[in-house]
Amino acid sequence: MKGILLVLAKRYIAGAERQDAIRTALALNDIGIKATIDNLGENVRTPAQAAWSVAEYLDLLKDIKASGADSQISLKLTHMGLDISPELAIENLETIVKKAREDGNFVRVDMEGSKYTQATIDIFLQLRKKYPNIGVALQSALKRSVDDARIITAAGGSIRIVKGAYKEPASIAFKDKREVYTSFEEIMKGLLLTATRPAIATHDERLLDVAKKFADENGVSKRSFDFEMLLGIKRSLQRGLAREGYSVRVYVPYGREWLQYTLRRLGERKENVWFVLKNIFD
C-alpha cells in the first residue's frame, strides 16, 4: 500500500527536501507558471517542533530568493503551534512574514478544519494591519465564508478561495455540491472586483469559465488575480490558461511527512480519492 501511495505522491508532491520544491518551482516557471511552496506538516505538539517549522520556512525563503524562483509560500497555523497557543502561532507566523517582506515575498495562510477557522481569521487580521504581504484562504463549503470574505476584503486582505476538502457537519457546511459551487461563485465574483489580488483555486472548468467571463465583462485584468491549482493535477489545463495570458500559480508541497499528508487527504473524503485517480493521466 505504501508503495502505491509513493507512486501517486511523486506526481503530486515535489519531494522530501526543500531543494526538490525549488527545482519543481523553477521547472514550472520555465513554462510560464508561478508556484506557492508549502512545507508539509500540521498539528505540532511542542514549541520545539514549531520552532523547527519556522526555521525550515526561513530557509525556504532564503532558497527561493537565491534561486530566483517565482514562488510564494503557504503554511498552516497548526504547523506554527496554534494547538499549543495562539500567541505562539502569532509570534512564529510574524517571524516568517517579516522575513518574507524583507525578501519581497508573500505568505498565504492555509485554512484548516472548521475548529481553526475563527482563530485563523483573527490571527490573519491582526498581522494584516502591519504586513501587506500576507493572505489567507477561505473554503466555500463553509456557510460563514461569504461573510468572512467581506470582512477580510474590507481590511484589504487577499483571499484564496477553495471549495474545501475537510469533512464538516451540516450545521456549518453545505452538503450539496451545487450549494458549494454557488457559494464559490458568489465569493469569487466579489473577490475579482476588490483589487486585492485574489487567488481562484479550483480545477473545476465550469468555475474557471465563469471567472474568465466575469473578469472580461468587468474589465478585470488577467494578471490581477491568480488561478491556483495543485501540482500534477490537470497539467494541460494549467499550461493552457498560462498561454491565454492568465496568471497561473501551482501549489507545490514538499516534506518528509508526505505519507501522513497523503493518507489524511485521501481519508478525509472519498471524493479526494476519485479526484486524484481521474486526473492521473492528464
pLDDT in tens, 209-226: 999 999 999 999 999 999
For residues 168 and 142, the answer to whether their CB atoms sit within 8 Å is yes
Mean pLDDT for 95-111 is 98
pLDDT of residue 59: 98
Grid cell of 223 as nine digits? 494578471
Q: 133-175: per-residue pLDDT in tens?
A: 999 999 999 999 999 999 999 999 999 999 998 889 999 999 9
The residues, ordered by sequence, that sit 6+ positions from 132 with a Cβ below 8 Å of its Cβ are 101, 156
Grid cell of 238 as nine digits? 494549467
pLDDT of residue 19: 97
Give the dihedral sign, CA 255/22/28/227.
Answer: positive
Q: How many secondary structure helices (H) and strands (E) does the chain include?
A: 11, 8
Is 59 known to be catalytic?
no
pLDDT of residue 167: 86
Mean pLDDT for 40-54 is 96
**244 has a pLDDT exceeding 60:** yes
**103 has a pLDDT exceeding 90:** yes
The residues, ordered by sequence, that sit 6+ positions from 196 with a Cβ below 8 Å of its Cβ are 153, 156, 157, 158, 159
Grid cell of 85 as nine digits? 497557543
Alpha-carbon span 163 to 259, nearest angstrom: 23
pLDDT of residue 139: 98
Grid cell of 40 as nine digits? 508539509
DSSP 8-state symbol, 61: H
- Global pTM? 0.92
pLDDT of residue 62: 98
The residues, ordered by sequence, that sit 6+ positions from 144 with a Cβ below 8 Å of its Cβ are 117, 172
Is 110 known to be catalytic?
yes
**23 has a pLDDT exceeding 70:** yes
Mean pLDDT for 111-132 is 97
The residues, ordered by sequence, that sit 6+ positions from 21 with a Cβ below 8 Å of its Cβ are 14, 15, 37, 39, 60, 252, 253, 254
Grid cell of 234 as nine digits? 490537470
Length of the chain: 282
Q: Is the domain covering 2-278 a CATH 3.40.50.300 domain?
A: no
> Annotated catalytic residue: which of 38, 83, 110, 148?
110
The residues, ordered by sequence, that sit 6+ positions from 270 with a Cβ below 8 Å of its Cβ are none
For residues 100 and 107, the answer to whether their CB atoms sit within 8 Å is yes
> Annotated catalytic residue: which of 18, 128, 160, 249?
160
